[in-house]
């Protein structure tokens, strides 16, 4: 405790102003050694996080910049499996479902909403669709598009095709459609392709005519000779490859705050300090995979000074508290408290007793 007080005092002297941290959540590493897909996967898992996952076009551009070689195929982490799984285009976990009838194994791999219920539909049919904006508004388009066309349109002009995450969302969208006979695309589709690190990313950058799913072609390369567009190729051929290293990692273990700090310090760097909106966005991108309703952050209440501080001693500048938390003044009367982020909803921060056992987020970044 004495050491902590000294550290805090020192940090407060040094960090007179709130500093902004720079950096990216996902760092790509190009490995210029030829390996089969499975060998490459093992290499990345040992040295970094996993074979590269690509979540969006920004990731794709970042990845392209990392390869200093424009003649070649480079493995990424996308692999074909034997099982079709339903996914949201936006990458949300599929928890809520509202099928009119249980989905069948036919070739209808996209989903529409009609009269408030979901149905399977051929992805190449032309229908209206609903886009989602990051600010939580929805826009319905009545012009006809295939599911893929609708997805590209929404990604270009809004955020993505709509995800329907609960009954409230479903009712809202049903009301927007406002016609029991019209089928409208929602962001749900199913496919065989999965990322090596099991993330839900539905981003795809296939070249035209790809994946051609021919025979043994079951792993994905990015073609540096063609703007990085993706091809499926036989997993047993050797190519150079791309690993990624995530700055933040969600740990799906239930530990008290103090145990979580110890775990992160032993295995990574520390519990995460969310000192900017950017880091809050990264937190948002990993936290939805948590098992617990709240997830520990490196935030704790420092009773001597009567204030919240980050575990590395920084004052809390950027804030994302749930309403009312800051004005609770009894943080020191009972058990010491620490800060956690809600894994659902708006991902606000709340105060909890440190003995609660929650999932938590470690950072690997030594600089902040």
Ligand X SMILES: *[C@@H]1O[C@H](CO)[C@@H](O)[C@H](O)[C@H]1NC(C)=O
- By the criterion CB under 6 A, which residues form the site for ligand X? 142-144, 165-166, 168-169, 254, 291-292, 345
Which residue number, 31 or 358, has a Cβ lying nearer to ligand X? 358
Residue 84 CB, nearest distance to ligand X (Å)?
25
Which residue number, 67 or 352, has a Cβ lying nearer to ligand X? 352
Which residue number, 128 or 298, has a Cβ lying nearer to ligand X? 128
**What gap in Å lies between CA 267 and CA 286, rounded to an integer?**
18
Residue 31 CB, nearest distance to ligand X (Å)?
34
Which residue number, 209 or 324, has a Cβ lying nearer to ligand X? 324
Residue 127 CB, nearest distance to ligand X (Å)?
7
Place of tokens 């929805």: 138
**What gap in Å lies between CA 300 and CA 272, rounded to an integer?**
12
Strands 294-302 and 127-132: unpaired
What DSSP element (H or E) covers 295? strand 294-302
Which residue number, 19 or 168, has a Cβ lying nearer to ligand X? 168
Which residue number, 168 or 234, has a Cβ lying nearer to ligand X? 168
Specify the length of the chain in residues: 368
Residue 347 CB, nearest distance to ligand X (Å)?
11
Output Rg (C-alpha) for the chain, integer angstroms: 23
Place of tokens 């009894």: 330
Residue 311 CB, nearest distance to ligand X (Å)?
22
Residue 107 CB, nearest distance to ligand X (Å)?
20
> CA angle 311-322-293, nearest 5°?
75
**What gap in Å lies between CA 206 and CA 148, rounded to an integer?**
12
Of 339, 250, 300, nearest to 4 by C-alpha is 300
């Amino acid at each position: 405790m004495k050491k902590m007080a000294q550290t805090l005092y020192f940090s407060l002297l040094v960090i007179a102003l709130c500093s902004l941290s720079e950096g990216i959540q996902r760092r790509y590493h190009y490995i210029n050694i030829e390996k089969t897909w499975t060998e490459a996967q093992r290499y990345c898992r040992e040295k970094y996080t996993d074979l590269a996952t690509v979540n969006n076009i920004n990731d794709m551009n970042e990845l392209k910049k990392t390869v200093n070689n424009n003649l070649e195929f480079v493995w990424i982490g996308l692999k074909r499996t034997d099982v079709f799984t339903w996914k949201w285009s936006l990458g949300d976990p599929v928890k809520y479902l509202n099928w009119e009838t249980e989905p069948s194994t036919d070739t209808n791999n996209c989903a529409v909403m009609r009269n408030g219920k979901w149905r399977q539909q051929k992805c190449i049919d032309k229908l209206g669709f609903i886009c989602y904006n990051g600010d939580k508004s929805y826009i319905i388009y009545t012009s006809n598009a295939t599911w893929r066309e609708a997805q590209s349109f929404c990604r270009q002009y809004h955020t993505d095709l709509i995800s329907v995450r609960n009954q409230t969302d479903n009712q809202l969208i049903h009301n927007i459609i406002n016609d029991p006979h019209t089928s409208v695309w929602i962001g749900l589709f199913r496919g065989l392709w999965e990322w090596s690190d099991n993330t839900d990313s539905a981003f795809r950058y296939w070249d035209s005519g790809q994946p051609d799913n021919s025979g043994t072609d079951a792993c994905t390369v990015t073609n540096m000779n063609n703007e990085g567009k993706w091809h499926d190729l036989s997993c047993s051929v050797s190519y150079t490859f791309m690993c990624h290293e995530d700055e933040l990692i969600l740990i799906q273990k239930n530990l008290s705050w103090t145990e979580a700090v110890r775990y992160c310090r032993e295995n990574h760097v520390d519990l995460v300090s969310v000192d900017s909106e950017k880091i809050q966005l990264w937190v948002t991108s990993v936290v939805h995979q948590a098992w617990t309703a709240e997830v520990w952050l490196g935030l704790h209440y420092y009773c001597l000074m009567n204030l919240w501080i980050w575990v590395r001693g920084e004052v809390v500048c950027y804030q994302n508290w749930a309403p009312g938390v800051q004005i609770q003044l009894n943080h020191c009367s009972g058990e010491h408290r620490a800060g956690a982020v809600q894994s659902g909803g708006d991902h606000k921060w709340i105060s909890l007793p440190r003995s609660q056992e929650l999932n938590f987020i470690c950072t690997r970044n030594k600089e902040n």
